[in-house]
Structure formats: structure tokens, C-alpha cells
Amino acid sequence: MISAETYDDEITLRMLAAASDAYDMPINDLLVRFGRYWIVFAERGSFKFILDFTGQDLRGFISNLDRMHVGVQAVMPQAIMPSFRVAEDTAEKVVVEYRSTRTGLEPFVTGLFQGLAERFGVEADVQHLGWYGDASTFAILFK
């Protein structure tokens, strides 16, 4: 069954801090790993059909991220969704703008993109390029 429950960010942050202590791992490293793990976790469970539906390749999947989150929001009205926009798409790289009401989740996004690259069998480096205006920008560089 899919859980449509949401938690306060406060609880998530406390859990992260506790995990960081328990594993003696910086929170940012934990967030990268959590992002990668989330994709594997979603593939194994009831979220798989959403992943399958969202896109059959990395570029297509990323360009559908907003539509997918809007769809999920319909069944989770309390969720506060991020937004992703493809700013550049070439043979060498995809540049993606990430917008959120939350701060500090960039390492999580890095891990999610790494997990997606793995899911689609693509060898790529994920770089956080920085903040430009209200957007946090990432590059997925194909090897």
C-alpha cells in the first residue's frame, strides 16, 4: 500500500540529525545517500508504477518531474512539492533548475539524480553548480 501520510519537516530534520550521529556521517553525505536510496526503494515498492510512468529515459523523466509531483499532490494535498525545469539539454549534459520552499536539500537532489542515472544505466557525474536567483542549478554531465 502507498502511504499518503506527510510529516513535519521538523521531524525529518530531527531524524536526519539522529542518523548523522548514529552513523557518524555528515548530514550532507547522508542526504546524498538517501537520495540514491530513495530511487532504489521506490523501484522495489508501490511507487514503481509512478517511476515507470514518469519516463523511459533520463532526459524524459527529468522533464516530467513536475507533472509527476503535481499528480502525486492530488492524493497528498498537504505535501509541499519542489519544481524542476530543464534549462539546457545537449549531448554532453542536462542542466536542471530546482526550486523549493525548503533549503539545504541540494545533496538530496544530487543523490536523486545519481539514483536516476543508475536506474537508466547512464554513466554521469552530478554537479551542483550553484544558486542563480530563486533557482538552485544542477548539471548532469554524461561520461
Q: Is 42 in the site for ligand HEM (CB under 6 A)?
A: yes
Contact present, 58 and 94 (Cβ < 8 Å): yes
Which of 31-46 are b and which e, b meaning 16 or more Cβ less than 10 Å from the residue's Cβ? bbbbbbeebeebeeee
Q: CB-side exposure of 94: number of CA atoms within 13 Å?
A: 22
Query: Is residue 12 close enough to count as binding ligand HEM by CB under 6 A?
Result: no
Residue whose C-alpha cell is 509531483: 69
Q: Find the shortest distance in angstroms from Cβ 44 to ligand HEM.
A: 11
- What is the contact mask toward ligand HEM in residues 70 to 109, using x (rule: CB under 6 A)? --x---x--xxxx-----------------xxx--x--xx
> Terminus-to-terminus CA distance in the chain, angstroms?
38
**Interface with ligand HEM (CB under 6 A), residue from 27, 51, 122, 135:** 51
CB of 114 to ligand HEM, least distance (A): 10
Grid cell of 87 as nine digits? 534549462
Residues that bind ligand HEM (CB under 6 A): 6, 42, 47, 50-51, 65, 69, 72, 76, 79-82, 100-102, 105, 108-109, 112, 116
